[in-house]
Amino acid sequence: MVSPALADTATLTYDGFDYLANNDLNGKNGGFGWRSSWDSPHFPDASIANPGLSYTAMLPVIGNAFTEQSNVSVRTARRTLETSLFSTLDNDGNIGVWKDGQGTDVWFSFLAQDNNTQVNPQLIWGGLRLSPTSEGVADDLFVGKFANPGDLQHYWGFGVNADTTGHTDADPNKSAILPTPIVQGQSYLFVGHVETLETLERISLYVNPTTVDIAPAAPDAQITVGSGEFRFYFADFEVGESNGDFTFDELTFGRDYKSVALTSESGPRVAAVPEPATAVIFGMGTLVLAACRRRSARASSAAPIPTRTTPRW
Q: List, in sequence order, every residue forming a beta bridge with 81; answer none if it has no partner.
A: 34
Residue 311 lies in a domain: no
By C-alpha distance, which of 233, 189, 230 is closest to 208? 189
Q: Is the pLDDT of residue 263 over 60?
A: yes
Q: How many domains is the chain built from?
A: 2
* pLDDT value of residue 313: 32
Do residues 149 and 178 make contact, with C-beta atoms less than 8 angstroms apart?
Answer: no
Q: Is the pLDDT of residue 5 over 60?
A: no
Q: Bigger pLDDT: 286 or 115?
A: 115
- The whole-number average pLDDT for the span 203-225 is 94
Give 296's pLDDT tier (boundaries 50, 70, 90): very low
Does residue 254 sit in the same domain as residue 286? no
By C-alpha distance, which of 114, 37, 134 is closest to 70? 114
Residue 80: CB partners within 8 Å, gap ≥ 6? 34, 35, 36, 233, 234, 235
- The whole-number average pLDDT for the span 232-246 is 89
Give 71's pLDDT tier (boundaries 50, 70, 90): confident
* pLDDT value of residue 9: 58
- The whole-number average pLDDT for the span 54-78 is 85
Does residue 80 sit in the same domain as residue 99? yes
Residue-wise pLDDT for 82-123, tens only, equals: 888 876 665 555 555 555 555 578 899 999 999 999 888 788
Does residue 82 sit in the same domain as residue 185? yes
Residue 206 lies in a domain: yes
- The whole-number average pLDDT for the span 15-34 is 94
Does residue 177 sit in the same domain as residue 284? no
Does residue 33 sit in the same domain as residue 72? yes
Does residue 173 sit in the same domain as residue 288? no
Residue 161 lies in a domain: yes
Residue 1 lies in a domain: no
Does residue 152 sit in the same domain as residue 295? no
CATH number of domain containing 14: 2.60.120
Does residue 146 sit in the same domain as residue 287? no
Does residue 293 sit in the same domain as residue 153? no
Does residue 177 sit in the same domain as residue 287? no
Residue 210 lies in a domain: yes
Residue 253 lies in a domain: yes
Q: Bigger pLDDT: 305 or 79?
A: 79
- pTM for the model: 0.81
Q: Is the pLDDT of residue 224 over 60?
A: yes
* pLDDT value of residue 151: 76
Percent with pLDDT over 70 in the chain: 75
* pLDDT value of residue 7: 34
* pLDDT value of residue 310: 39
Residue-wise pLDDT for 157-194, tens only, equals: 999 988 888 899 889 999 999 999 999 999 999 999 98
Does residue 178 sit in the same domain as residue 293? no
Residue-wise pLDDT for 226-238, tens only, equals: 876 677 889 999 9
* pLDDT value of residue 126: 94
* pLDDT value of residue 93: 54
Q: Which of 11-15, 87-91, 149-153, 166-170 has the lowest mean pLDDT?
A: 87-91
- The whole-number average pLDDT for the span 138-162 is 87
Residue 310 lies in a domain: no
Mean pLDDT of the chain: 79
Residue 89 lies in a domain: yes
Give the domain range for residue 38: 9-270
CB pairs under 8 A, 24+ apart, for 271-274? 271/9, 271/11, 271/12, 271/14, 271/32, 271/33, 272/9, 272/10, 272/11, 272/12, 272/85, 273/2, 273/6, 273/7, 273/9, 274/2
- The whole-number average pLDDT for the span 58-80 is 86
Does residue 179 sit in the same domain as residue 297? no
Q: Bigger pLDDT: 168 or 197?
A: 168
